[in-house]
């Protein structure tokens, strides 16, 4: 996967993709393990010279690679995709007043798990399938896939704000799905999210996907189990709570009453009251279709007052 964190760093790729012919070349290569220049030219109805120019631009920006090999008619160049995914972060990491932390899915601070349930590292299953006792196993911190039919997982988000800073927005990015025995692409599940015990809202996961193998799943992971989820972005700010830009509640950061001393606990849950009680699965960097752990991003404001929202500010003023 090519992961563009900064838009300017991806400008060569964007230019290369600004051509219908080069898009067609990528589509051809996505459906074939590799093609030589003659095959690409023939399929597109272009001359070898024209195709060579387009191939050069795609190679220069790293979208494709070329290897030279001997053939029946001499040396030939074989083209293939360098990566099979392209991710672009539209929010610059260099923006002022924010910090990010990655949280492995096994780094939960509290949990409740009912079968079907389990967890696995990139190397092996932790304990046994459908035995909630192993959610307390010390090896669980290395888990990169976790599933449960009912219960919750709770995570602590570091609070690095100083006394003169206030929260502007909290974002959480995670790959998530339902939990079925084996897998079931149509298995809707109501998954609830909360912060510091306050319900933010819920999202209906469409299913527990297993029709194709997850891009980053380790080789040993069985094909009859869940393979990948959906990448969701949760945002809480002064206007409400959102998933992928869609409002899930009117709960704001002000309602959660956060300041620089606050603990931040984020809970993901499937409850007994769910209409669609079909579990949840979380995917880490080495499972699923997105090479990332859970990502927490905190944006904040900086104030001139040294002690905003702090009783010590009044003490400091009276002392003067």
* 59-97 tens-digit pLDDT: 888 888 888 877 666 778 888 887 777 877 776 554 579
pLDDT digits (tens, 9 = 90+) for 7-44: 656 777 888 888 999 999 998 888 887 888 889 999 99
Query: Mean pLDDT across the stretch 267-277?
Result: 87
If one compares 71 and 231, the residue with the highest pLDDT of the two is 231
**Burial of 144 from C-beta contacts in 10 A (0-12 / 13-18 / 19+):** buried
Most confident of 9-13, 152-156, 291-295: 152-156
Q: Which CATH superfamily is domain 95-302 in?
A: Galactose-binding domain-like (2.60.120.260)
How many helices (H) and strands (E) are present in the chain, helices listed first? Answer: 6, 17
**pLDDT for res 153:** 98
Whether the CB-CB separation of 286 and 188 falls below 8 Å is answered with no
Question: Is residue 100 scored above 90 in pLDDT?
Answer: yes
Prediction pTM value: 0.70
End-to-end CA distance of the chain: 58
Q: How confident is the model at residue 134 (pLDDT cuts 50, 70, 90)?
A: very high
Q: At what angle do helices 48-60 and 20-30 cross, to 10 degrees?
A: 80
Helix (H, G, I), strand (E, B) or coil at 307: coil
Largest Cα span, the chain: 90
What CATH number should be reported for the domain whose range is 2-86?
1.10.10.10
Residue 319 has what pLDDT?
44
The answer to whether 294 and 170 have CB atoms below 8 angstroms apart is no
Contact in structure between 170 and 266 (CB atoms under 8 Å): no
Query: In 3-state terms, what secondary structure has residue 169?
Result: strand
Characterize 156-182 residue by residue with b for buried, 16 or more Cβ atoms within 10 angstroms of its Cβ, and e for exposed: ebeeebebebbbebbbbbbbbbbbbee
Task: Break the chain into its structural domains and give their ranges.
Answer: 2-86, 95-302
Q: Which residues contact 92 (CB under 8 A, 6 or more apart)?
A: 6, 7
pLDDT at 314: 47
Q: Mean pLDDT for the chain?
A: 88
Cβ atoms of residues 116 and 279 within 8 Å = yes
pLDDT on residue 141: 96
Round to whole Å and give the CA distance between 193 and 197: 9
pLDDT in tens, 195-213: 999 999 999 999 999 999 9
Q: In the block, which residue shows the tokens 């109805």?
A: 45
């Amino acid at each position: 996967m090519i992961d563009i964190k900064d838009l300017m760093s991806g400008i060569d790729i964007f230019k290369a993709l600004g051509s219908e012919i080069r898009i067609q070349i990528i589509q051809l290569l996505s459906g074939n393990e590799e093609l030589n220049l003659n095959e690409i030219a023939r399929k597109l109805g272009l001359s070898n010279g024209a195709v060579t120019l387009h191939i050069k631009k795609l190679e220069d920006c790293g979208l494709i690679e070329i290897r030279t090999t001997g053939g029946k008619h001499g040396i030939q160049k074989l083209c293939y995709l360098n990566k099979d995914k392209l991710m672009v972060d539209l929010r610059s990491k260099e923006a002022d007043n924010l910090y990010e932390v990655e949280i492995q899915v096994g780094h939960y601070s509290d949990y409740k798990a009912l079968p079907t349930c389990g967890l696995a590292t990139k190397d092996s299953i932790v304990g046994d399938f459908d035995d909630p006792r192993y959610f307390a196993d010390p090896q669980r911190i290395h888990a990169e896939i976790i599933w449960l039919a009912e219960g919750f997982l709770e995570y602590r988000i570091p609070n690095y704000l100083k006394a003169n800073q206030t929260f502007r927005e909290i974002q959480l990015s995670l790959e998530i799905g339902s939990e079925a025995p084996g897998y079931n692409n149509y298995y809707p599940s109501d998954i609830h999210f909360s912060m510091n015990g306050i319900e933010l809202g819920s999202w209906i996961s469409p299913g527990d996907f297993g029709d194709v193998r997850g891009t980053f799943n380790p080789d040993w992971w069985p094909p009859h189990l869940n393979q990948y989820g959906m990448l969701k972005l949760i945002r809480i700010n002064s206007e409400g709570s959102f998933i992928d830009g869609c409002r899930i509640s009117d709960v704001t950061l002000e309602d959660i009453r956060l300041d620089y001393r606050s603990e931040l606990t984020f809970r993901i849950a499937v409850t007994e009251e769910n209409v669609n009680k079909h579990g949840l699965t979380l995917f880490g960097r080495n499972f699923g279709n997105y090479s990332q752990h859970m990502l927490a991003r905190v944006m904040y404001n900086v104030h001139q007052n040294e002690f905003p929202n702090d009783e010590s500010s009044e003490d400091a003023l009276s002392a003067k």
